[in-house]
Structure 1
Amino acid sequence: MTLQSLLHSLKSLVQHEQIKIELVKIETVPLLIRCVIEANFQKTKIPQYALEILLTLSFNDEALKVLEKEVNFMSHLKVLENSTEETIQRGANHLLWLFDQKIQSPIMSKSGSFSSRYKFDIMLSYSHTDKKICFQIYENLVRDGFHVWIDRDQMHGDTMAAMANAIENSEFVVICMSEAYKQSPYCQAEAHYAFQRQCKLIPLVMKAKYKPEGWLGIIVSGKIYVDFSKFQFDSAYSILKNEIQRKRIATTIIDSNKIYLDPRLRVPLLSSSSVGQDRPIVDLPLCIDAWSEDHVRSFLRNNNLTSLLPVFPDFNGSLLYQAYSMCQAGRESMFQAMRNEVVTHETVPPLTLATYLRFLERLKSYIPINVNDQSQRPIPTLCNIM
């Protein structure tokens, strides 16, 4: 196997944290630096691959410490930043930016609530492998009045500074997940920076059956995915807009704590004890996003929706809201999926169409109103904001 082929294979392997640790232990970093610097490699892909591996390694603290000690390499990176070779220029730019961030040790401030201080509503972080569907998402968002930042043409020059500026000035960072995204050190740099800043992240699934693992799995852990491979584009896009609206309202509730509630909509909450026993009565939280797993179970029992209990095991309010959005995007397909789930539990009554529709109707009172959705009738909700 040639050195170039070896480095090309190593680009994929180095995504795994254990591989990073082992490469640092066996002192691979100085060898990779030689691949970038030495003149006899300059007419091959070796410097590009070595730079990309070093960029991925730099997310490991021990590897970063080794790189920081290589003064000659740091000086060489500044030369490469002006290279006419785009891939070399980009790799050098990203590495220098990461070193600058480490030196400055900036205090990562948490993204605030929806405010006019944001220049953009959304920053789209994606791999150019997935550009077709990402551009379609971008065009739909712009059509619907969102201010969106996207790198459509793979910028030249100080690309990482521009990306960082977009992340800092966007209300949401949408992460378009795929294996190509996970494999890209440039995408990792963007996602990692957004994660450090505690930005509001919305993960999208670009490829069928894709499950994020490794560093990407950690960054999106616990977040609701919008799956563009599972639903028709319009349905998935509708779920994305609902998720944006949900996060905006949830943030506004937390930040302002100024909620106007119709007292007629206050519903007694039943504890998670058995259906036949007396239960202490408390109020449901003001918004579905604040519901715990017990709140969800009590809502189902209180509304005689017990056949749905096995469909929503360990669901909190945020997950139940996502399920509601999926039902709105594809009512028939979701009914079939939920009914099939219930059938596997012999002790639970079968799910009827009447029960399914009643579930949607009862839950609707707790769903934030999307002011851009004219089809949603203007009933009072528990999440109604001034």
Structure 2
Amino acid sequence: MAEAVEKSEIILIFMSEAYKNSQNCRTEAEYAYKKKKKVIPLLVQKGYDPDGWLGALQGMKLYYRFFTEDLMETDMALLLTALGEQARAYDENDGPIRATQATKVHAAPAPKSKSPTSEWTDKNVQDWLKKEKLDDLCDTLDGLDGSHLEEMYQEYSSNANKFKDEMRSDYQMNGKLCLKFTVALKKLFQK
């Protein structure tokens, strides 16, 4: 198990209660963290909110949902994109990539379905911010409508770290405000 972690560039962690309760899984995850490996969490149990050591290990990392067929299809595309970005970064910085061809994986993103927020006006966004106790962002996000929120969520879904950096620099959000906004945005679109 240790050798597999050492030889890996990226570790996928399948978050579930069973994973959290397994001493072997905990050892593997903690060793990956100790070795400063890139960890990508996959939520595989519907309704499970990682807690304890697993919740702490997940932290603010973007996770992918793999507990229903539909989610597997859409989040697989996002996961493959994230893995591809990591591979390109490794290739540019550290040398050759050894890749194997995936089989029976359909990575094309699912067509976007129209969400209720796509019809939101800037006033609806302002009302939502107030409802979520994000009044500090009302001036900052003034003029944005529902389609802007959808774009923000898509950006968050594809690259959480880049999204957070942009929120801090473009919208002058401090860490705590950025976290509150991100949680509210996820809640809005993951209903």
Greater RCO between the two (CA within 8 Å, min separation 6)?
2
Q: Which whole-Å deviations, capped at 9, do the CAs of 1:5-61 have from their partners, x for residues lacking one?
A: xxxxxxxxxxxxxxxxxxxxxxxxxxxxxxxxxxxxxxxxxxxxxxxxxxxxxxxxx
* 2:82 is the counterpart of 1:243: yes
What is the deviation of 1:215?
0.9
The 3 A distance-change label for structure 1 pair 344 and 356 is closer
CA distance in 1, matches of 2:116, 2:39: 28
Matches within 5 A, 1:59-70: none
* 2:60 is the counterpart of 1:194: no
Matches within 5 A, 1:94-109: none
CA distance in 2, matches of 1:202, 1:172: 7
* Residues 65 and 71 in structure 2, CA contact (< 8 A), matched pair in contact too: no
Q: In terms of Rg, which structure is larger? A: 1
Matches within 5 A, 1:157-176: 163-176=1-14
Q: Which whole-Å deviations, capped at 9, do the CAs of 1:312-335 have from their partners, x for residues lacking one?
A: xxxxxxxxxxxxxxxx734433x4
What is the deviation of 1:209?
2.7
CA distance in 1, matches of 2:65, 2:13: 12
Matches within 5 A, 1:208-219: 208-219=46-57
CA distance in 2, matches of 1:250, 1:338: 34
Structural RMSD (CA): 3.3
The 3 A distance-change label for structure 1 pair 349 and 199 is closer
* Residues 125 and 145 in structure 2, CA contact (< 8 A), matched pair in contact too: no
Letter in 2 for 1:339: S
What secondary structure sits across from 1:232 in the alignment? helix
The 3 A distance-change label for structure 1 pair 337 and 229 is farther
How high is the TM-score relative to the length of structure 1?
Answer: 0.28
What is the deviation of 1:350?
4.2
The 3 A distance-change label for structure 1 pair 338 and 201 is farther
* Residues 5 and 11 in structure 2, CA contact (< 8 A), matched pair in contact too: yes
Task: Find the counterpart in structure 1 of residue 99 from structure 2.
Answer: none
4+ residue runs over 4 A deviation: 346-350
Matches within 5 A, 1:1-386: 163-229=1-67, 231-252=70-91, 255=93, 329-333=109-113, 335-336=114-115, 338-339=117-118, 343-346=124-127, 348=143, 350-351=145-146
The 3 A distance-change label for structure 1 pair 165 and 331 is same
CA distance in 1, matches of 2:110, 2:126: 24
How high is the TM-score relative to the length of structure 2?
Answer: 0.53
* Residues 14 and 42 in structure 2, CA contact (< 8 A), matched pair in contact too: yes
CA distance in 1, matches of 2:6, 2:44: 24
| Total equivalences in the alignment | 124
The 3 A distance-change label for structure 1 pair 356 and 191 is closer
Structure 2 gap segments, 5+ residues each: 95-107, 128-141, 160-191
CA distance in 1, matches of 2:49, 2:23: 18
The 3 A distance-change label for structure 1 pair 340 and 330 is farther
